Amino acid sequence: MLRDMYRIRGINIKAMASSSQASLSKRGSTESMTSVPTPQFASEKESSPQFRPSEASPSPSPAPLPWPQGISSHVESGVTLGSGEYFMDVYIGSPPRHFMLIMDTGSDLIWTQCNPCKNCYEQEGPLFTPNSSSSYRLVTCSEPQCKLVYNANPDEECTEQKPHSCKYSYWYGDKSNTTGELALETMTFNLPNGHHYTLNGLVIGCGYSNYGLFRGAAGLLGLGKGPLSFPSQLHNRFGRKFSYCLVSRNSDLNVSSMLTFGEDERLTKHPHMQYTGFVNHTSAATFYYLSIAKVSVGGVDMLIPASAWTIGANGQGGTIIDSGTTLTYFVKEAYEQIVMAFESQIMYPKIQTSLLDHCFNVSGQTEVQLPTFSISFADGAVLSPPLENYFIEVETEPPILCLALLEAPAGSPSILGNYLQQNIHLLYDVGSHRLGFAHVACNAL
């Protein structure tokens, strides 16, 4: 939860800041990526021992193939590695090597820890070694991609005649950060038909000094709306949409589902698919804002003022969906009403814990009865998460269940975190400015 709180403070600052190098996210300019070349796909010609996207080896091909309809990556819960994040499998470099990156819809940069590392945290598996990849190329300070990050050495002169490497520094709301060099590199992905494709020329960060709560992961893959995020670098490929389904948080690393870029008919043709529109917030270009109309507890609508859900003139407030925040947070006006409703409807003894504020002892209950919870969006869609998405078992002897909803710090937006998103198939249809969702068993996909 400590990381959540730091992260939320950072989200608040970024939401209030204009898109400039002064913002906490250190993204630099948020200008369009039109000056940055679109990455190109090429068929993977040769398998390697480090490359394990699927059981079958890819078929050699003498020439690049057309763009596929979609690419995908496995997603797992990081709880067994002590993380509240979700990890995705990626294959970086030539030959492709396997790494686990945190998937984060609340940031933009793609980066991984690199050798030789001056200050790296402990990760699962070896670090990426740029010298071992034939496709790795440094971005120079004079190239357009370098204008999209905060310069880690602003006093170092850069000229087209004598350009040096693009040194970046990227900070997160929880004070975690990565510093290193920007590069162009390949990433290899699965195709629905079992083949593998390599995306060349992706802008990534090669981090030589990395600090923070990234426990277990090799780095992070930004899925936000900013120009350096993975979806933005793909431009209009795959219809400007991606989807994911988060397995139950307590699942082992061998239990996974898929993060898919492009059309996923299992979702778009789901009989109970619903859509709600994204809210445009120009001064916080990274985040996916949603418009909440009301919330209900036990079927009773909460009397929450509309101002609790709107974005203020100063950029504060509103609601975002964020895969990089663990729990769900509501602004004070909403949170107080929600908690009051839960406590008035729950008959089990309340108990104090050091972890969460609203916990209940459910000893001796063969079937625990707790209120339903739903979020209604302004355009009519209703998200009704299962009980296990908003209550968390913190003790088994005696069994203690805690409400997995917290109050957001003053000025920050409400945040729908990854715990609330478990076993809900989510579609980020960026091209159509909407979020789709349907309830499924994610480990069955």
Nearest to 74 by CA among 212, 284, 251: 251
Pairing of strands 288-290, 241-245: unpaired
Which 8-state DSSP code applies to residue 67? P
Instruction: Verify whether residue 104 is a known catalytic residue.
Output: yes
Q: DSSP letters along 122-173, please?
A: -BSSPPB-GGG-TT-EEPBTTSGGGGGSEES-TTS---SSS--B-EEEEE-T
The structure tokens 């804002």 sit at 289
Helix (H) or strand (E) run with residue 10 in it: helix 2-16
Of 89, 104, 108, 429, the catalytic one is 104
Whether the Cβ atoms of residue 317 and residue 413 lie closer than 8 Å to each other: yes
Of 4, 108, 174, 322, the catalytic one is 322
The structure tokens 């203020």 sit at 312
* Spatial separation of the C-alpha atoms in residues 319 and 313, rounded to whole Å: 15
* Spatial separation of the C-alpha atoms in residues 290 and 331, rounded to whole Å: 14
State how far Cα 250 lies from the chain centre: 18
How far CA 84 is from CA of 29, 214, 379, in Å, comes to 30, 10, 31
β-strand partners of 41: 199
Whether the Cβ atoms of residue 90 and residue 204 lie closer than 8 Å to each other: no
Instruction: Verify whether residue 357 is a known catalytic residue.
Output: no
Q: DSSP letters along 359-407, please?
A: EEE-TT-SS-----EEEEETTS-EE---GGGTEEEEEETTEEEEE-EEE
Whether the Cβ atoms of residue 3 and residue 84 lie closer than 8 Å to each other: yes
Whether the Cβ atoms of residue 439 and residue 424 lie closer than 8 Å to each other: yes
- Residues with catalytic function: 104, 322
